[in-house]
Amino acid sequence: KHSRYWARPASTAADAVATTMLEAYALAERSKDFGDLHLALTAKLAAWRAVMVRTFKSRGDGVFLDNLMERARAAVLTASQDYVNHVWALRDTAGGRLAGAVSASGAVFDYRVHAARLIEALALQYFLDDDATRRQIAAERLVRICVAEPGAAQPASDRYAVSVVAAVRALVDMGRRDDAARYLKMVA
């Protein structure tokens, strides 16, 4: 609402996407202020999806949307890195187990939600990062979570089952078909 007071009205579809992206980024930054790095990632991912939809619908609107899409991709990568690094540090502090890092009244459910969020963010990092070293770290972490964390194979609902697809695609892409098959069997 706030951005609409000072942002110029969107006269084109591309301008509307830019305004949407700006609002998503404002939400993401505010979410980070409150320590909710996953909401920040989700807001940036939603903005990237909006740009992709507009880009694919426009067919050749060109440089502006391509530039926005690249900026949104980079923002999603940064947000996923922030989220993963935060959760990984909590996991390490809890003795290398994600379940130990989740302490809430609904810990059994929350653990499965955090595991799904983590594998999705790791898969995003794996696919989006151009840096070979960081990409390898994301791959190793993804394999470790899929193999060692039972909650990663127990999606809490259909919403979180989508994370399974991202993880399996990444495992297959990195040549870990056996791990992907074993992981899918655990999920099933």
| Structure-block tokens of residue 18 | 């830019």
pLDDT in tens, 145-172: 998 889 999 998 888 888 999 999 999 9
CB 146 within 8 A of CB 179: yes
CB 84 within 8 A of CB 137: no
Give this prediction's pTM: 0.85
State how far the Cα of 59 lies from the Cα of 143, in Å rounded to an integer: 37
State how far the Cα of 88 lies from the Cα of 77, in Å rounded to an integer: 16
CB proximity list for 162: less than 8 A, separation 6 or greater:
120
In single-letter form, the type of residue at position 2 comes to H
CB 24 within 8 A of CB 43: yes
Closest to 116 measured CA to CA, from 161, 177, 158: 161
State how far the Cα of 160 lies from the Cα of 127, in Å rounded to an integer: 19
Identify the weakest region by mean pLDDT among 3-12, 52-61, 72-81, 89-98.
Answer: 3-12
pLDDT in tens, 43-88: 999 888 888 888 777 766 578 778 888 989 999 999 999 999 999 9
State how far the Cα of 141 lies from the Cα of 126, in Å rounded to an integer: 10
Q: Residue 105 pLDDT more than 80? A: no
